[in-house]
Structure formats: C-alpha cells, structure tokens
Amino acid sequence: MTSLVTREISLHGNRVTYRTGGDGPLLVLIHGITSSSASWEPVLPLLAERFTVLAPDLLGHGQSDKPAGDYSLGSHACLVRDLMLTLGHDSATIAGHSLGGGIAMQVAYQFPELVDRLVLVSSGGLGREVSLFLRAVTLPGAELVLPMIASQAVLNAGGWFARAAGHLGLRAGADLGEIARGIASLSDVGARRAFVHTARSVIDAGGQRVDARDRLYLAQAVPSLLIWGERDPIIPAVHGVRAQKLMPGSRLELFERAGHFAHLDEPIRFAGLMREFVAATEPARVGLDDARELMLRHAS
C-alpha cells in the first residue's frame, strides 16, 4: 500500500499541516468547514495508487495554525496556491468538498493556470439553501453558545447530539460522525473563531450568500466533475443538478445512498470515479487570454 505522510510548512509565518503521498499527477483535496485533511482518510490510500495527493489542513482547521486573520474564500484560495507553488507544483486537479468546493472554484477563478481539472463534492457556493446549523452560526451571540455545544459534543456525542442531528435530517454514519467530530473541534478557541469568521464570510441567516453560478460558464475551459450524495441534508443535491447545466461539458455523478460526505459513504466508488475522470480528460491549459475571451463572449 502506498505510504502517506503528514508534514508541515511555514507559509507567511503560519504553520500549515498537510498530508501527501503517492505517485502520478497531482490531486489537491480541500476539506470543508470544521473538517481537516483527516476527512479524506478513507480515500487517500486509494487515490495515492494513481495520484500524488496533497491534502492540506486549511488555516483555522485541523493541525494548522489558527490566526486571527482573513478566512474568506479568496484567502483560502491563496493558501492553496501558495502551498502548491512552495512545494514545487505548477498545476493540479483541484477537488473540494463542501466549503472546499467553494474554495476550489475560487482557485479556478483567481488562478486558472493552476487548475488542470475541477472536482466539486457536495459543494458550497451553488445555491442559497444550507443547513439550519450553519445559518444559526451567523446570528449574533453564536460565539457564546458554541463553547457549550462543543464541550457537550465531546462528552456526549452519542446522546443529545445524535437526537438533535436526527431532527436536522442527519443519518447515523458519515454525516453524523463527521459533523460530531467537527463540532468537537470547536472546543479550541482558535478553531471556534476561525469557524465563525469562515461561516459568516459565505453564509447569512437566510442561507449561502456567496453564489458562483454567474461565473460557471468559465468552467467550459476546464474538465469538471460534480459528485453529490442524493441524501445530502447539508447542501441539497439539486444544487449539483442545477450547476451541471450551467457548466458546459461538465459531468454529474449522484451517489444514491450517500449523504453530505459521499467520499466517506462510498470511498471505493469515489476513488474509482476520480481515476476514471482524470484518465478520460486532458488537463486544461487556461491562460489570461483564454479567460478574457470567455468573459468577453459572455458579455456580448
């Protein structure tokens, strides 16, 4: 089995931890909010058989530093770029889950020359609807409630949290386990601060306020794959269905039995699909002139 290692690097004075290993074309995996590179663990060995995988802990998450700074999509996208360039990589297939999908789209928008292919897994930024819990974080006073929720989740993740999650549509399995682990991570004050700032940068009380759909026509220059669990209770699968229609040449795969964490519910299918997608497509070569032509054509 291909070995994977966890390393760290200092970028702009902040420690960034990442998992890497494997051999082949580079595949960058960007996790979602309150998660970390650990959320990719079940698929990392499978993907490393065909790819060089690079899975960072975003700032404010996992083992990376949690500074009092900028947690916008643009800032996270810059981190992905800086990590890639510092490690000597010129381009990659960029895959993002949930918030990570929004970051992956931001990388493609800000730095198109870095993106060979784009993979969006239950991605944010493609519609207004989002879970009640994430909307509640944007309300005044959420910072005062989160420490109590996080400490109780650590002590009794299988009790009140499981019952409350059931009312929100979360099923036992990957969804419940990963969200419980994410909430437990908020017992750390730095992670809690990063979570609130990140959530408020993309969500308000009514739902997601960052919407990439007006720019999805740019994706026609990049091979794109959307993967969604049909039972996703966090970001509904209809977002993927609508987005695919706005992304010329893109492909949509719905996992019938999966929830928000499709790559955890069906890791073998997910890894096989990633291998197939990369093998069947040529990497994009998008420069500034290509992006300019697409935007001018859309504006006319």
Mean pLDDT over residues 7-20, rounded? 97
**pLDDT reported for residue 135:** 78
pLDDT exceeds cutoff 50 at 172: no
Enumerate the domain spans of the chain. Answer: 4-128+210-299, 132-204
- Report the distance separating Cα 228 and Cα 263, nearest Å: 9
Residue 140 Cα to chain centre, angstroms: 26
Q: Which amino acid is at 263?
A: H
pLDDT per residue as tens digits for the range 200-257: 888 877 877 877 777 777 777 899 999 999 999 889 999 999 999 999 889 999 999 9
pLDDT above 90 coverage of the chain, percent: 56
- Residue numbers annotated as active site: 98, 232, 260
Place 149 in a pLDDT band, splitting at 50, 70 and 90: low
* CA–CA dist 227, 300 (Å, integer): 32
Q: What is the number of other CB atoms lying within 10 angstroms of the CB of residue 128?
A: 12
Measured over all CA atoms, what is the biggest interatomic distance in the chain, rounded to whole angstroms?
Answer: 58
What residue ranges in the chain does DSSP mark as E strands? Answer: 4-11, 14-22, 26-30, 52-56, 92-97, 115-121, 203-204, 207-208, 224-229, 251-255
CA distance 51 to 203: 33
Residue holding tokens 């083992």?
63
Residues 284 and 221: beta-carbon distance below 8 Å: yes
What is the distance between the alpha carbons of residues 260 and 234, in angstroms, rounded to a whole number?
Answer: 6
288 to each of 22, 114, 212, 217, 218, how far by Cα in Å?
31, 12, 19, 15, 12
Query: Residue 5's beta-bridge partner residues?
Result: 20
User: CA quadruple 78, 84, 85, 87: dihedral positive or negative?
Assistant: positive
User: How far is Cα 246 from Cα 216, in angstroms, rounded to an integer?
Assistant: 6
Place 130 in a pLDDT band, splitting at 50, 70 and 90.
Answer: confident
91 has pLDDT over 70: yes
Q: Is the dihedral of CA 61, 110, 135, 130 positive or negative?
A: negative
Mean pLDDT lowest for which of 57-66, 84-93, 240-249?
240-249
Q: What is the CATH number assigned to the segment(s) 4-128+210-299?
A: 3.40.50.1820
